[in-house]
Structure 1
Amino acid sequence: MEGSVAFNDNQRDYFVDDLDLKHGKHMHCTEDRLDSGLDSMKEGEYQDILKDMEELKLAESQRECIQEPWKEQMTEDRDTLLHLAIIHEAKECIQQIIERSRNDPYLNFQNNQRQTPLHLAVITEQPLVVAALLQAGCDPRMPDQSGNTALHIACRQGSMSCFSVLVQFCSREHLAYILSCANYDGHSCLHLVSLHGYLHLVECLIQLGADVNVQEQCSGRTALHLAVDLQNPSLVNLLIEKGANVNSLTYGGFTPYHLTYGRQSTEIQQQLYKLTAPELRELPESDEEDETEEGSYSEDDDMYDDIQLVGC
């Protein structure tokens, strides 16, 4: 064909290699090429070539994993090089490791305390590292040995910078899951910020979709119950403003108003008295019967009549 150029085996290096590109060498075409070359292929050859290219990419990625033995290195506490780099705030090292571990399970590796690199980045207050990890594919839903996700830790620490990055780069589905998730103490993120009195974070979590009436799993207290326990009138006002249910009952049947008994703040007590349903203002009766000296006796005591302590 007119204008075509034939290459023998010794001329294949005409195509620019990677080294030439790195040194800034460029090829200049004297005329535009109008055809893609696909018309000269037989039917099915193009799809076969695409399939071969995909297989080559997969093989290359597998070879890269095999050729990175540093990913297998860890301390006796099962801290990887990435864990250690974050702990010591070695920024350049962190960046290089993250770049070479995109969408790799290595990013979610947990040490003996079940901390991922993301947990440590929040603990050490490194929001830029938090952002880099999330963008590289780190899973924000993973809990540590206490059941805390990275967001739970940010809430507990009151870290607004790490909190902001986490909620910004989490997917909508992941964030919804985390907000409804309780740690092993039964506390959600909203409970944690309420316990520590972080009013701004309380407001942020509710705006993000956290349930203002979620109950902690241990006793069934809501954030409003906790606010009364803490005698924090500002938190009480904020939660009520955001829709907290003043008639919510703990597992023992107590409203937030019931928790004002014996507490110093008359302001909180008077406020909740007005808002609580009249039928819920009285303290619930105890299920335990009053015990007398005779009543405290148990039939089970007879089981141990024949037991004598040595030396008695």
Structure 2
Amino acid sequence: MQQVPQNLEERNYDGQMCVHLAAIGGHVDILRHLVWFGANINARDGKGGRTAMHYAVEYGIQKVAKFLLEECLVGPRAVQLEMPTYAGYTAYQLAACNGSALTVELADKGALRRNMPEDEESDSDFSDEEMYGISSDNYFSSHRLNGEPIDIRA
């Protein structure tokens, strides 16, 4: 029997790897096998910097979070509870934001109890209407094809 080489770090078009998809789907057994075969449990997705733990907490997938907290906290590839997303949120902060009971479990396993970062001033003080001269009510009414208005209402 010929063995097919596997790349456990391959990304899909959303920048997600096997560990992210298994976590999102709630597939603990698959996630366990991925970890056994060397997949990086702390791999960040390409868009938001989320790890499997971030997905489990954000989507409220208790069984994946429990697996990560109970079986993946020791060893050289242990889950890192303080890894932030690209926006700077840890798993604990996401759980606290969602009002999840996972905050207690995360804190019991060593996650720092941090408040959400203060909202910084947005990139712009202008609304879309002010910036682009459009309103959400008639945004599509200004589009034209060959000089004639386009009616795209269903």
Same fold per TM (> 0.5)? yes
Amino acid in the other structure paired with 1:273: A
1:247 equivalent in structure 2: 82
Change (3 A) 1:277 1:264: closer
1:263 equivalent in structure 2: 98
Q: How does 1:28-107 map to 2 (within 5 A)?
A: none
**Cα distance in 2, alignment partners of residues 283 and 179 from structure 1:** 32
Amino acid in the other structure paired with 2:120: D
Deviation at 1:231, TM superposition (A): 1.3
**Cα distance in 1, alignment partners of residues 60 and 127 from structure 2:** 40
Change (3 A) 1:211 1:200: same
Deviation at 1:254, TM superposition (A): 0.2
3-state DSSP of counterpart to 2:85? coil
Q: How does 1:273-284 map to 2 (within 5 A)?
A: 273-274=107-108, 275-278=110-113, 281-284=114-117
More helix by percentage: 1
Matched, 1:296 2:129: no
Deviation at 1:206, TM superposition (A): 0.2
Q: Say which one has the larger Rg.
A: 1
Amino acid in the other structure paired with 2:10: C
Amino acid in the other structure paired with 1:296: F
1:185 equivalent in structure 2: 14
**Cα distance in 1, alignment partners of residues 92 and 45 from structure 2:** 18
5+ residue gaps, structure 1: 1-130, 136-168
2:48 maps to which of 201, 219, 223: 219
3-state DSSP of counterpart to 1:228? helix
**Cα distance in 2, alignment partners of residues 192 and 283 from structure 1:** 26
**Cα distance in 1, alignment partners of residues 66 and 95 from structure 2:** 15
Deviation at 1:273, TM superposition (A): 2.9
Q: CA RMSD of the aligned region, Å?
A: 2.8
Deviation at 1:188, TM superposition (A): 0.5
1:247-299 alpha-carbon deviations (Å, 9 max, x no partner): 01000000001111343532x11112342235xx121122325x8xxx5379x
Determine which structure has greater relative contact order: mean sequence separation of CA pairs < 8 Å that are 6+ residues apart, divided by chain length: 2
**Cα distance in 1, alignment partners of residues 127 and 65 from structure 2:** 44
Change (3 A) 1:181 1:264: same
3-state DSSP of counterpart to 1:253? coil
**Cα distance in 2, alignment partners of residues 233 and 297 from structure 1:** 38
User: Between Structure 1 and Structure 2, how many residues are aligned?
Assistant: 127
**Cα distance in 2, alignment partners of residues 269 and 234 from structure 1:** 15
1:287 maps to which of 120, 126, 133: 120
5+ residue gaps, structure 2: 73-77, 134-141, 143-154
1:272 equivalent in structure 2: 106
Identity of aligned residues (%): 28
Structure-1-length-normalised TM-score? 0.36
- Contact persistence 2:24–2:61 (CA under 8 A): no
Change (3 A) 1:264 1:277: closer
Amino acid in the other structure paired with 1:284: P
Structure-2-length-normalised TM-score? 0.70
Deviation at 1:211, TM superposition (A): 0.3
